[in-house]
């Protein structure tokens, strides 16, 4: 285990500006960075991409597109427009991939939301292809099925990616969302070359907040190394992306947190 495949999401060190995050990650010899769109606010995106590369970091993906399900046709069109904007941003930044948090609208059946997700991704795929940007469908934990994603298992994400049948559409496997699934090993094997991204963190016991209490690798009950083994068996040789939302860690020193991330990663 070394740091050459370690990527950190900017949201993991949310208190830092993208400039400070890039400097810090670089100083700590972290190889990759996944940029959240909020970190780009008010920046020249192309220049920010250049700044990140000048720090020696590889841009792994842009987070996040998606949120296709909406109660009205107008809102669904707005969502598609926002995804097209994300594709432009990814191209300007020099990110080869966008992670899709697909969305859900609590005022309609999940099946309806799932259909709107399929339509939304189909609508943006030609633009992604033209821009050379991959789209990674990220299934989210079922506890987010109300408002964040109607795609809640890797089986669903695989079904969707296979139905859309494009080399530009694949899936993102996040251990936090999927670790509980008894079909996980077989569904990871099924991904094959559709496995575009791998996200890690841990599930705290107890989990004190439904959104903002993710743990550092090793702090919880997810068998991360085992899942990582399954991912690697598919031939995946991309980054291990650390994505932690944590009120606790965000309230502390971010440089120290990054040290802990590195150590936890090396201990996997």
> Nearest 5 degrees, angle CA 180-CA 182-CA 183?
120
Q: How far is the CB of 148 from its own copies (least distance, A)?
A: 10
**Residues near 115 by Cβ (< 8 Å), separated by ≥ 6?**
none
> Which of residues 127, 179, 198, 265 is near its own copies by CB under 8 A?
179
Q: Contact between 141 and its own copies (CB under 8 A)?
A: yes
> Which of residues 20, 50, 119, 226 is near its own copies by CB under 8 A?
226
Stretch that binds its own copies, among 30-38, 53-61, 116-124, 147-155 (CB under 8 A): 147-155
Neighbours of 237 (CB within 10 A): 8
> Which of residues 116, 152, 158, 194 is near its own copies by CB under 8 A?
152
The helix/strand/coil state of 50 is helix
Stretch that binds its own copies, among 33-41, 81-89, 130-138, 178-186 (CB under 8 A): 178-186
- List strand residue ranges (DSSP E) for the chain, in order: 6-9, 32-36, 58-66, 97-101, 134-137, 169-174, 195-200, 240-242
Q: Contact between 107 and its own copies (CB under 8 A)?
A: yes
Q: Contact between 119 and its own copies (CB under 8 A)?
A: no
User: What does the alpha-carbon distance between residue 69 and residue 80 come to, in Å, rounded to a whole number?
Assistant: 10
Q: How far is the CB of 159 from its own copies (least distance, A)?
A: 9
Stretch that binds its own copies, among 2-10, 64-72, 200-208, 228-236 (CB under 8 A): 200-208
**Residues near 46 by Cβ (< 8 Å), separated by ≥ 6?**
92, 93
Report which of 198, 197, 205 is spatially closest to residue 222, judged by C-alpha positions: 205
Neighbours of 253 (CB within 10 A): 10
Q: Contact between 229 and its own copies (CB under 8 A)?
A: no
Residues making contact with its own copies (CB under 8 A): 106-107, 109-111, 114, 141-143, 145-147, 152-153, 155-156, 179-182, 203, 205-210, 220-221, 223, 226
């Amino acid at each position: 285990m070394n740091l050459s495949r370690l990527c950190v999401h900017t949201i993991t060190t949310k208190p830092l500006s993208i400039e400070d995050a890039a400097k810090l990650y670089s100083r700590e010899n972290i190889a990759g960075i996944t940029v959240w769109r909020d970190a780009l606010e008010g920046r020249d995106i192309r220049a920010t991409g250049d700044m990140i590369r000048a720090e020696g970091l590889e841009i792994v993906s842009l987070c996040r597109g998606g949120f296709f399900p909406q109660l009205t046709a107008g809102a669904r069109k707005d969502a598609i427009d926002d995804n097209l904007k994300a594709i432009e941003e990814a191209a300007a930044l020099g990110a080869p991939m966008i992670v899709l948090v697909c969305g859900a609208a609590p005022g309609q059946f999940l099946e309806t939301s799932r259909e709107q997700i399929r339509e939304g991704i189909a609508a943006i795929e030609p633009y992604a292809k033209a821009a050379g940007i991959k789209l990674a469908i990220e299934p989210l934990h079922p506890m987010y099925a109300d408002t964040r994603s109607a795609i809640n298992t890797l089986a669903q994400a695989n079904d969707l990616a296979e139905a859309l049948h494009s080399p530009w559409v694949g899936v993102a496997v996040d251990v936090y969302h999927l670790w509980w699934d008894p079909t996980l090993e077989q569904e990871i094997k099924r991904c094959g070359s559709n496995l575009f991204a791998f996200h890690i963190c841990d599930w705290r016991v107890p989990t004190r907040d439904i959104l903002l209490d993710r743990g550092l690798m090793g702090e919880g009950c997810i068998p991360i190394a085992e899942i990582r083994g399954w991912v690697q068996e598919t031939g995946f040789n991309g980054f291990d992306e650390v994505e932690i939302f944590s009120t606790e860690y965000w309230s502390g020193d971010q440089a120290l947190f990054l040290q802990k991330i590195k150590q936890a990663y090396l201990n996997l």
